[in-house]
Homo-oligomer: A and B are copies of this chain.
Amino acid sequence: MGDPCGIGPEVTLKTVADESLSGAARIVVLGDEQHLRRTARELKLKWAFSSVVDEVPQGRRWERPVLIDMRNVDPGLLPGQISALAGKAAAQCIERATELALAGQVEGIVTAPLHKEALSMAGYTDPGHTEMLARLTSSKKTAMLFWSEELSVSPLTTHLSLREAVAKVRRSRVLAQLRVLDREWTRFFGKKPRIGVAALNPHGGEGSRFGVEEQRDLLPALERARNLGLRVYGPTPADAIFGQARSGQYDVVLTMYHDQATIPVKLLCGLKAVNVTLGLPFVRTSVDHGTAMDIAGKGLASEESMVTATRLAAQLARGPA
């Protein structure tokens, strides 16, 4: 359900009511029943849950979405608030979801947006979902993937200052991420990806004239990856690679920092992009937007990203056809 004060509850309710998902996935929502009922009432949204339960129903008969009531949202919380109570409620949903996934009771997790400041106020030091999930599952090497039909991109680092992100562009990290991308893409989609690698520096550094990372780290990492049998291409200047990817030259682009991935993804795919975490023991997708506190509680939020994220999670959980 995400942060109760953001648009998470609203898009969750709208997604649960989306008939197009009923054949694709059996949905278990982790959230606070009273809070969701109030949201549905105030925004005049359909209540599409078949039941409110404490545990994931066993057996294969249930098809309609169910709600596990977390009973953890303070009724005094209002839309748009940034609060420790809200951050804690959101984090507890993630923790419970992780337990269920590790126990095999669910095959994947779809996350609604949480607010990083609220999370921090609640005492969590994880900068975001992805890091929290990696911690909870003791996953050594995860990778964020923005997936869409038009363009798929994976940034080398995520929630770091650009200064720190630049310092992380090192041979071993690039190689490790290429291997995760190759392994997980093959697992989920059933074929080896062609991976385009974006350069860090303008014009790809122009032969070390504008930066050394391409020569020092990227070229050796790519050569090593090729020797391991990976299909990797680059490094290619960042202002050229996304046009190439869009025209089908690569299946996925590895970028050197967060915004190098999200600028093209947001421009080309908008709400159609899904954030996938690779390297976890289970499937995890996320909406590709934040809590949007400014429009929370107004009924204006689009569920498109969460519907797409849910559909992709179901597809990844089924595995390649």
Contact, CB under 8 Å: B260 / A243: no
Bound CA–CA A117/B127 (angstroms): 42
* Residue ID in chain B nearest A151 by CB atoms: B267
Q: Which residues of B contact A103 (CB under 8 A)?
A: none
Does chain B have a CB within 8 A of A207?
yes
Cβ contact within 8 Å between B242 and A267: yes
A202 & B258 in contact (Cβ 8 Å cutoff): yes
- Select one of B203, B206, B207, B265 contacting A239, CB under 8 A: B265
With A and B bound together, what is the CA distance between A175 and B50 in angstroms? 58
A209–B120 touching, CB < 8 Å: yes
- Asked whether any CB of chain B lies closer than 8 Å to the CB of A285, the reply is no
Query: Of B127, B211, B237, B246, which contacts A209 at CB under 8 A?
Result: B127
A94 to chain B, nearest CB (A): 19
CB within 8 Å of B: which of A192-232? 200-203, 205-207, 209-213
Query: B239–A161 contact, CB under 8 A?
Result: no
CB neighbours (8 Å) of A158 from chain B are 202
**Interface range, A side:** 35 or more
Residues of B within 8 A of A203 (CB): 116, 159
* Binary CB contact string for chain A from 93 to 137 against chain B (1 if under 8 A, 0 otherwise): 000000000000000000000001100100000010000000000
Check B260 against A211 for contact (C-beta < 8 Å).
no
Q: A152 on the interface (CB 8 Å rule)?
A: no
| Contact A160 B202, CB 8 Å, known A127-B210, A268-B267 | yes
Beyond A166-B166, A202-B258, is A210–B263 a contact (Cβ under 8 Å)? no
Q: A202-B258, A238-B259 are in contact. List 15 more A-B contacts (CB 8 A).
A: A117-B209, A159-B206, A160-B211, A161-B210, A161-B212, A164-B211, A165-B202, A202-B262, A238-B262, A239-B259, A239-B262, A243-B266, A243-B270, A259-B260, A260-B263
Top 3 A-B residue pairs of the complex, sorted by shortest distance between their CB atoms: A161-B211, A239-B262, A202-B258
* Chain A interface (Cβ < 8 Å from any Cβ of B): 116-117, 120, 127, 158-166, 200-203, 205-207, 209-213, 237-240, 242-243, 246, 257-260, 262-268, 270
